Structure 1
Amino acid sequence: MIDQKKTVILYGSQTGNAEELSQLLWRQFKLRGFSGPAIAMDDYDIRNLISEELVIFICSTTGDGEEPDNMKKFWKFLLRKNLPHDSLKKLKFGVLGLGDSSYLKFNFVAKKLNKRLLQLGATQLLDIGLCDYQHDLGNDAIFIPWTAELWKKLSQYGSNPVDTDSTLPSFLPRWNVLKTDFTSDQSIKRTNDLYFPDENNLDCCADKPFIMELKSNIRTTSLEHFQDVRLLEFGPLKETFDGYEPGDVVNLRPRNSKAQVDLFFDIFSDHQLNLHRDDIINVTQIHDDMPVPKYFQKPMLLSQLVEQYWDLSAIPRKYAFSVLAVESENKLEKEKCIEFCSPNGSEDLLNYCNRPRRTILEVLEDFHHSTSKLSLNHLFEMFTSIKPRAFSIASSCKAADRKQIDILVAVVKYFTKLKTERLGLCSNWLKNIPIGMRIFAWVTKGTFVFPKSVNTPLIMIGPGTGLAPFRNVILEQEHLQQASNETLILFFGCRNEKGDFHCGDYLKQMESSGKLALTCAFSRDQDNKIYVQHKIEESGSFLWNLIQKKSGCIFIAGNSKNMPDAVKQSFVQIFIKEGNMTEVDASEYLKRLEVSKQLQLETW
């Protein structure tokens, strides 16, 4: 039995996805009579863990199987050797992991956490849930059935069975949201950024943000090429900037486009809410266990909220349809929303929403009768927040004297069965920001950890924008006068030499000066398609010598769909041929290289 209906939900996340799911789960617990906070692991007093009876952990995996920043202190404490093996004997727990199956260490952090809790004597309520970003339904594909199983398990520990059949939960807002007319209160300070309102006082921010200014925006693909790729150069950075290392990534939070913001206000122009851009929004606390985030603790303009916080391009979760159904007075729309929320409606939801990539704004337009009944509290629950995006840094900190950050960005545009073109939020925002615009950013460690010795050969496979982290390394070693074609080996791939050979002039100049061994695969410049994996196999003897005799390290960066597996299979073939191995032995050898970090991947 669980003596009290109390639960603690602890999350660890680099981007905010785990926090969002934690708050969704908190709402479900609250509706079932439980109480307790949903907070980041490092914000929780871990000394209280030995007395907790029920804790749900939601965590993502970052980098090469590493825990998120807001989980590091918590995890370090759990690993202490002096903790008794029965420290957590009172605790019943569940672990939900957020991961991407294209990575070798899929949900590695959640698996480690689950194992460590068992070692400390805790009781596992249900099997670990392993969400996969690659699934058509995203995290919902695992989150929804996992939580249904959780309610069943919890019913065994309470006097009242937990309701698992309710398709439509009652609406429960996290916070109370009120608006006032700007003309009635003009004391609000208009700030440029919702998250960093005081650019002169950034030292107190945990992310160590800084301001960078766009200096240039160069298209690296020809105008005739189907894809628009940009090399963006930001700087100058202030002298107080801490700098970065090869392999690091820069994080930034994009904003919705003017067209999206205009569409939002068009949808709500004749709404009962009577929303205007200069409306002042106040967010206040309702529940003791759900405090208002710091960035909402001061009044803000609705236009700022719409542009910077709500992700207007997001595909809505099932929960958004449940909110619409709760409030709808239109029979047809209500029935359709209920159907989408039901287990039998998943395929219909995929066909309506996920596969054509229909956005939340387009859904609100389609369900306009239900939309007309929504309040600001509803909007706060239906819209997801804009998450930060991470980009491999494509410039050298040393070469730029810490005053420049470059990123290589493929602008996402494509069509589905819907009439309107689908646009990637961040890439299109970056493409269109004007020269001289200043944005906030912060640097974190990426997946790649490059060897400290410059004598270690670097075998770099970076087709397309996968070139970015390797451009960082090449620029740095050139600046330090350490660049050599014996240690810098780059395999680059694209469609056409004249179409999308990013930074091609610089790479060819480095090759001609003997500072880089460059091999290119231009897949469409001949009748038969040639990819980087083909070029790698052609260089089998050379690469085997670097790996086996000189401890050369392999780095693979780029699209996660097919390329990484194809490249790894090429190395398996090299090991079979050059190392006289069986296929099984060659595959095991490849795995050992990954475990020892002699082979590293950074894919997206």
Structure 2
Amino acid sequence: MPTSVANRFLLLYGSQTGQAKAIAEEIAEKAGDQNLHADIHCLSLTEKKFFIEREKCVVIITSTTGDGEPPDTALKFVRRLRKKTLPDDYLSHLNYALLGLGDSNYTNFCNCGKSLDKRLQDLGAKRFYDSGWADDAVGLEVAVEPWLDGLWSALKRFLKLPGAEHGGGDADAIMTENKEMINGDSRLNGSTVIENGNKSRSADTQSVHSISNTIPVLTKDLTNGNNQNNLNNSNSAESSVPVCDINQSDCNNSSSHLEQTSSSEKHTDLLVKTLNGTKDNKSNESSMEEKTEASVKVSLPPLSESTLTVPLLPPPFLKIEYNQEQSIDVCDLPRQNDYDFPSAATPVTMATVSDIKTLTSDTAVKKAIFVELDITGSGINYQPGDAISIICPNDTNEVETLLDRLGVLEQIDSCLKILVIEITKKRNASIPKFVSEVSTLRHIFTTCVDIREPPKKALLRVLVEYTSDDAEKRRLQELCSKQGNEDYARFIREPSLSILDILNNFSSCLPPVDRLIEHLPRLQPRPYSVCCSPLTSPGKISFVFNVVETTAECGRTYFRKGVCTGWLEGMSHSAKRDKQVQDTTEKEIVQGIKQLEVSDIKIPIFGRTNQSFHLPDDVTVPVILIGPGTGVAPFIGYLDHRGSQQEAQAETQFGETWLFYGCRHKDRDYIFREKIEHHVSTATLSNLLVSFSRDEQSADAPRYVQDNLRSHGAEIVSLIEEKGAIVYVCGDAKNMAKDVNQAFIDIFSQCKGISSDEARKLVMKLRLHRQYKEDVWT
């Protein structure tokens, strides 16, 4: 219920993976420093903790999930506002500010936020501050930070509070404040001055203004060992992580291994050589002379000579107490402290791996692995097109190497208790909900926190305090500063540096392990599309994935595989060894005895909330399936399902089914080929259009799925407009999905004789009417 407090505003968030919630909590924490009171609630608590129709001032932070859908926590709130019975002036008393989070790799960028923004205005609500759209494809902070800067002044102006013009608000106010400080005025609302990496003045908020660091800090120490052999970049194009320029200083000698200073020799194969301290002094001097490129460790003017605006140091709020005498069985600990998983539609179940095999040849660029799980008795029900989430651990060697780097390897299995510091300055401090209060470091860093996610700026700011080398300290300040946004994106976010990469690059940095637990995000489950049908595989569920491999370059200091894909691939090696043993045993036993099971491995999974990527209930409706690579996975389930339906409904005339499939090489990575050709032979699949992008072929041969789409444009338009065909696209969002979307625009433009803008609107209309559906990922 709203209160009469003059400085109060309602703060709402709709979060799927926790980012919108984290931003809202940051706003709530900073509000007190601005003499404001934030009444914060999740959107799921509508009509329980708040009533939007009774509010005067509200700030909303919401993400977008799926194919432009609201996050699960916002569904109820959005549905309430969508009611057609609501009058046009229903929210005429409401004033709001809205920040939407999204990813421009997906077509419906920030769709939930934009739809909500429009609906609020349709119901009479008014903006007191411009809506913001943050793009995870380039880094949320690029839009979030300036939006938050301006929010405080906007709130104070609307609430008619003092200090509206100097509340850490818009850019003009910030510029004015900086000028005042240069002239010796101390009237800066919550700031810290950094001079050559040293804090000389502090206050209470997290907006920090430095005005005197104008001396370059590039030193020999910062460039030691970077002038290595040129990188062989031949396989980099296939990596899922963006590849840096070949001349970039950190993109060198990816095959060399790290000389471990660890007490444990078993980690030496995990990491590559650190870039510091690997050459003699003469080489270092030569390297300094030749250094011309910026890197994660090195900045150049103007940034290296710039005044910096860096965050205030987040206050510590957790501490760890070890109990060497107490034993603990981590197997008894609840998985991620029993904290609800996002998008979970079912409880977590342990599914038995009944089959696991490689689908591609040994010479394929990417390895595709098929996994079948026995879900008998799990309570998981699914349709073709659904997805499951796999709860995976971090790599064991990587965890041990990180904890060794932090100097706590000896305590890795000791029982510990996490406590909130009694005198912490952090408001509403608490232990992360996904971490058990009593645990071990191994358990926390293996199963609870994400050690691969590029560190956020707040964590980099913390690392500054535990870095002894002045040049390294300055560089970390740059990377977490507003002036260093481009460097942060280029050298940390784009190459996906992990916390271990950061520590390896900044050798003098040694933070306490409890500070990492404060800031590392939750280790999220990984979703995979189902590639089977319950009609043909009762009690089973299967999926396929590419093994993600990332080389040691561009600041990445060790070779790695995907967190989940690498873990699952390890199971395939184990299953293969088991099968070899069983095959030997089978030769010695009497024919007719049941073959041994491939594996007794069990993995934790749960069913995901419905994403509506399903076949139409009306089997007479044609479907157009577009899925190159492993994007074909859900369509294998579609074909199996349709084949079974056709057998059971022989009298029914089914709609046409078209499949556009593509891969690199016909003889290396044409996955599910036998099954696809079987569906062609049984007429389940009406039309199969396959393209091979890397095979030698005639110049006019289609190389990509969009080439085949354009070649059959007239037929596709006819299927969609005359027979109501539904288009399904599955695969890579960053490139393939955008190319396919453009192909449809081109097809409609050409076949209907309309402009590209008109064709684009037509395709968007198909999306809105659920006639063009996507299941894509980055």
Task: Judge same fold: TM > 0.5, yes or no.
Answer: yes
1:476 Cα offset (Å): 1.1
User: TM-score, normalising length from structure 1?
Assistant: 0.87
1:498 and 2:667 correspond: yes
Letter in 1 for 2:167: V
Which residue number corresponds to residue 592 of structure 2?
none
1:162 and 2:203 correspond: no
- The 5-angstrom pairing of residues 436-451 of structure 1 reads 436-446=601-611, 448-451=613-616
1:78 and 2:72 correspond: no
- The 5-angstrom pairing of residues 236-385 of structure 1 reads 236-238=375-377, 240-269=378-407, 275-284=411-420, 289=428, 292=431, 294-296=433-435, 298-326=437-465, 328=467, 330-372=469-511, 374=512, 376=514, 378-385=515-522
Would the alpha carbon gap of residues 496 and 290 (structure 1) be closer, same or farther in structure 2, given more than 3 Å must change? Answer: same
Which residue number corresponds to residue 735 of structure 2?
562
Which residue number corresponds to residue 15 of structure 2?
13
Which residue number corresponds to residue 180 of structure 1?
322
Coordinate RMSD, CA, aligned: 3.3
- Following the alignment from structure 1 to structure 2, what is the Cα–Cα distance between the partners of residues 551 and 450? 13
Which residue number corresponds to residue 64 of structure 2?
61
User: TM-score, normalising length from structure 2?
Assistant: 0.69
- Following the alignment from structure 1 to structure 2, what is the Cα–Cα distance between the partners of residues 118 and 492? 43
Q: 2:691 aligns with which of 521, 528, 531?
A: 521
Would the alpha carbon gap of residues 72 and 583 (structure 1) be closer, same or farther in structure 2, given more than 3 Å must change? Answer: closer
Would the alpha carbon gap of residues 221 and 349 (structure 1) be closer, same or farther in structure 2, given more than 3 Å must change? Answer: same
Which residue number corresponds to residue 527 of structure 2?
390
Which residue number corresponds to residue 105 of structure 1?
108
Which residue number corresponds to residue 231 of structure 1?
370
Would the alpha carbon gap of residues 567 and 356 (structure 1) be closer, same or farther in structure 2, given more than 3 Å must change? Answer: closer
- Following the alignment from structure 2 to structure 1, what is the Cα–Cα distance between the partners of residues 431 and 519? 17
- Following the alignment from structure 1 to structure 2, what is the Cα–Cα distance between the partners of residues 217 and 31? 55
Q: CA deviation digits over 1:334-353, x for unaligned, max 9? A: 32222222222223323432
- Following the alignment from structure 1 to structure 2, what is the Cα–Cα distance between the partners of residues 505 and 357? 37
Would the alpha carbon gap of residues 197 and 579 (structure 1) be closer, same or farther in structure 2, given more than 3 Å must change? Answer: closer
SS in 1 for 2:451: coil
1:388 Cα offset (Å): 2.7
Q: CA deviation digits over 1:303-351, x for unaligned, max 9? A: 1111112111111111111222345555333322222222222233234
Q: 2:43 aligns with which of 41, 55, 67?
A: 41
- Is the 8 Å Cα contact of residues 168 and 325 (structure 1) preserved in structure 2? no
Would the alpha carbon gap of residues 34 and 424 (structure 1) be closer, same or farther in structure 2, given more than 3 Å must change? Answer: farther
Which residue number corresponds to residue 300 of structure 2?
none
- Following the alignment from structure 1 to structure 2, what is the Cα–Cα distance between the partners of residues 174 and 29? 19
Q: 1:116 aligns with which of 119, 123, 133?
A: 119
Which residue number corresponds to residue 146 of structure 2?
145
1:502 Cα offset (Å): 1.2
1:504 Cα offset (Å): 0.9
Would the alpha carbon gap of residues 212 and 16 (structure 1) be closer, same or farther in structure 2, given more than 3 Å must change? Answer: farther
Would the alpha carbon gap of residues 553 and 122 (structure 1) be closer, same or farther in structure 2, given more than 3 Å must change? Answer: closer
Q: CA deviation digits over 1:390-437, x for unaligned, max 9? A: 222111123222x22211211111334345335322222232245412
SS in 1 for 2:668: helix
1:29 Cα offset (Å): 3.4
Which has the larger Rg? 2
1:17 Cα offset (Å): 2.8
SS in 1 for 2:119: helix
Letter in 2 for 1:408: V
SS in 1 for 2:137: coil
1:598 Cα offset (Å): 1.9
Letter in 2 for 1:411: V
1:461 Cα offset (Å): 0.8
- Following the alignment from structure 2 to structure 1, what is the Cα–Cα distance between the partners of residues 560 and 712? 40
Letter in 1 for 2:151: L
- Is the 8 Å Cα contact of residues 95 and 127 (structure 2) preserved in structure 1? yes
- Is the 8 Å Cα contact of residues 191 and 197 (structure 1) preserved in structure 2? no
SS in 2 for 1:563: helix
Would the alpha carbon gap of residues 297 and 451 (structure 1) be closer, same or farther in structure 2, given more than 3 Å must change? Answer: same
Note the residue ranges of structure 2 that are not aligned, 5 or more in a row: 169-173, 175-206, 209-308, 575-598
1:162 Cα offset (Å): 2.4
Q: 2:707 aligns with which of 522, 534, 555?
A: 534
1:466 and 2:604 correspond: no
SS in 1 for 2:24: helix
- Following the alignment from structure 2 to structure 1, what is the Cα–Cα distance between the partners of residues 411 and 355? 37
- Following the alignment from structure 1 to structure 2, what is the Cα–Cα distance between the partners of residues 188 and 88? 54
- Following the alignment from structure 2 to structure 1, what is the Cα–Cα distance between the partners of residues 679 and 658? 11
- Is the 8 Å Cα contact of residues 284 and 297 (structure 1) preserved in structure 2? no
Letter in 2 for 1:511: V
1:225 Cα offset (Å): 1.0
